[in-house]
């Protein structure tokens, strides 16, 4: 299932963005045919982008989160909109690495040393662009640092993708806790305590989904929220503000890919026309193929000249 919830604590000290993204990440795994470590890397970035999408004001606002490193995964990129639609890709979906000493998938090793870039397009003239060096390439810590350095926002990020023995996605999701202006110091202490004791979020999601089979998606995500925050003092108990949709959705089209094809310029387009008489482009997000025949290439050339 996919579902998201936004919540706030009673004292108004922090806001919570929580999402279950199991179906979305499984869909991305099938589309990109990813190895387990690639599934985890892409799944975490997709989930992170989806959570950040929940913070956007308008349904059409969009943001892109790009992890670029010197590791074998090379680039992992995800885009999300304010309406909860998410898409993404990993440059090398076939990356394979030994497990880390703690038995976990080595996402940090797959990404390597590099940068995280966040681009937000809110329909203004210039998009907002923030970039920082990666902390460890494990995605969650990198995002926490990004929020702190680029957006002067104190937050805590948890992301998790649990891979089943058949390599499908058993559970996936994430949470961003955002401290609000004027937060009570005691809430920070209580959150630190809670986070230090917290079971990995993918485990919590797998358990909650299994034990709440009769519940609606809203009921499941609310149950997950209350499990995570069960240990918080009453003064900082969390209350749901609203439920949101989140899910895989690629908005590619013949028109959009035509624009991409035209961007290579008239000379290169002419060369393709003469050598092949046709062009085939694959959407890098959903792998859908678009064919441009001779008549179409001639029309595009005419538009360029």
Nearer to Zn ion, 110 or 283 (CB): 283
Nearer to Zn ion, 86 or 177 (CB): 86
**Looking at 181-189, 209-217, 256-264, 278-286, which segment touches Zn ion (CB under 5 A)?**
278-286
Q: Which residue has the tokens 């990356």?
A: 95
Looking at 238, 252, 273, 297, which residue binds Zn ion (CB under 5 A)? 252
Classify burial at 67, counting beta carbons within 10 Å of its beta carbon; exposed 0-12, middle 13-18, buried 19 or more. buried
**Other beta carbons less than 10 A from residue 147's beta carbon:** 22
Residues 116-145 vs Zn ion: string with x where CB under 5 A? ------------------------------
Closest distance to Zn ion from the beta carbon of 87 (Å): 7
Q: 33 near 46, Cβ under 8 Å?
A: no
Looking at 285, 290, 297, 300, which residue binds Zn ion (CB under 5 A)? 285
Of 145, 83, 71, 147, the closest CA to residue 110 belongs to 71
Closest distance to Zn ion from the beta carbon of 53 (Å): 17
Q: How far is 128 from 296, CA to CA, in rounded Å?
A: 35
Note whether 286 binds Zn ion by CB under 5 A. yes
Q: How far is 56 from 50, CA to CA, in rounded Å?
A: 10
Closest distance to Zn ion from the beta carbon of 252 (Å): 3
Nearer to Zn ion, 168 or 284 (CB): 284
**Looking at 73-81, 184-192, 254-262, 277-285, which segment touches Zn ion (CB under 5 A)?**
277-285
| DSSP sequence for 269-297 | HHHHHHHTS-EEEE-TTT--EEEE-HHHH
Closest distance to Zn ion from the beta carbon of 150 (Å): 28
Nearer to Zn ion, 116 or 252 (CB): 252
Q: How far is 18 from 160, CA to CA, in rounded Å?
A: 12
Note whether 250 binds Zn ion by CB under 5 A. yes
**Other beta carbons less than 10 A from residue 123's beta carbon:** 9
Note whether 86 binds Zn ion by CB under 5 A. no
**Other beta carbons less than 10 A from residue 158's beta carbon:** 23
Report the interface residues with Zn ion, using CB under 5 A: 250, 252, 283, 285-286, 288
């Amino acid at each position: 299932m996919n579902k998201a919830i936004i919540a706030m604590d009673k004292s108004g000290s922090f806001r919570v963005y929580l999402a279950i993204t199991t179906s979305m990440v499984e869909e991305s795994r099938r589309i990109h045919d990813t190895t387990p470590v690639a599934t985890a890397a892409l799944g975490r970035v997709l989930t992170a982008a989806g959570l950040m999408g929940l913070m956007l004001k308008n349904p059409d606002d969009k943001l892109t989160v790009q992890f670029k490193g010197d590791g074998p995964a090379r680039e992992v990129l995800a885009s999300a909109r304010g309406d909860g639609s998410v898409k993404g890709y990993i440059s090398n979906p076939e990356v394979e690495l030994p497990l880390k000493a703690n038995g976990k998938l080595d996402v940090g090793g797959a990404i390597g040393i590099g940068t995280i870039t966040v681009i937000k397009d809110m329909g203004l003239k210039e998009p907002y662009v923030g970039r920082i060096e990666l902390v460890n390439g494990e995605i969650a810590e990198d995002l926490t640092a990004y929020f702190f350095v680029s957006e002067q926002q104190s937050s805590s990020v948890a992301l998790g993708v649990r891979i089943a023995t058949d390599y499908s996605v058993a559970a996936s999701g994430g949470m961003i806790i955002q401290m609000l202006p004027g937060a009570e110091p005691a809430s920070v202490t209580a959150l630190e305590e809670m986070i230090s004791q917290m079971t990995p979020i993918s485990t919590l999601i797998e358990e909650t989904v299994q034990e709440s089979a009769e519940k609606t998606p809203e009921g499941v995500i609310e149950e997950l929220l209350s499990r995570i925050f069960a240990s918080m003092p009453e003064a900082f108990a969390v209350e749901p503000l609203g439920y949101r949709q989140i899910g895989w959705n690629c908005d590619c089209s013949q028109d959009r890919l035509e624009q991409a094809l035209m961007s290579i310029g008239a000379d290169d387009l002419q060369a393709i026309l003469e050598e092949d008489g046709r062009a085939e482009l694959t959407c890098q997000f959903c792998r859908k193929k678009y064919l441009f025949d001779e008549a179409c290439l001639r029309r595009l050339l005419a538009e360029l000249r």
